[in-house]
Structure 1
Amino acid sequence: MHTFKPVFLALALAAAASSVHAGDDLLVHRVQQEKGMNLPAKGMTMAEVEKRFGAPTSKLDARGGGSRRQPVINRWMYPGYIVYFERSRVIHTVLNTPAGNNKDPSNPR
């Protein structure tokens, strides 16, 4: 019975390590995919994004803004990606992919 625990632990650790590696591969693929696309760039203003990419399919409710350390974060949804703004400037654009957890950011879990 005592030899079973170390074997089980070794198998569990090996399974965890392989799932982390698979997650890293998905992240690398996602970053490469984003680099090859024409997406809103960090620093663009809301007006620049709307002029270049058109109106978003939806503008989600703003989050944050309670203090200077927690600025207002706005999120605009486009087909295939979401643009995150700090106040009125782009801070990140994220693809809506099956590997991501951002398929429906308007419905937090």
Structure 2
Amino acid sequence: MFKPVFAALALAIASASSAHAGDNLLVQRVQQEQAMNLPAKGMSMTEVERRFGTPTSKLDARGGGHPKQPVINRWMYPGYIVYFERSRVIHTVLNTPAGNNKNPSNPL
């Protein structure tokens, strides 16, 4: 009777530790992004290219088939990807080995 209770307790503790470790990694990633000089939300494509140079790659645009689905453009730079809605930055994401943005050429 005690084995299942002990196993469940051990699993709950392990899950809590894992979640806490994940939170720490997220906080570290956000702090790293804030410390870097990255394209800011609202910048135009022209401003980004002038300030950060030509991207290593401009991925195919996605969306745009409906007014509620604007065109999303993605530019790759060494270490990060810049996402644009139409021609304005909406987000900049660091490329990290643990991130899910390892292959941004896949559809959104």
TM-score (norm 1): 0.89
1:26 — aligned with what? 25
Per-residue CA deviation, residues 8-62 of structure 1 (Å, 9 max, x unaligned), is: 1111111111111111111111111111111100000111101111110001111
1:13 — aligned with what? 12
Question: In 1, distance between residues paired with 2:69 and 2:47?
Answer: 24
2:50 — aligned with what? 51
| Range 5-14 or range 78-87, more displaced | 5-14
1:73 — aligned with what? 72
**What is the CA distance between 1:83 and its match in structure 2?**
0.3
Structure 2 residue 105 is matched with structure 1 residue 106: yes
Structure 2 residue 108 is matched with structure 1 residue 91: no
RMSD: 1.4
Unaligned runs of 5+ in 1: none
TM-score (norm 2): 0.90
Flag as ranges the 4+ runs of structure 1 deviating above 3 A.
none
Residue-pair matches, total: 107
| Range 10-19 or range 37-46, more displaced | 10-19
**What is the CA distance between 1:70 and its match in structure 2?**
1.8
Structure 2 residue 71 is matched with structure 1 residue 64: no
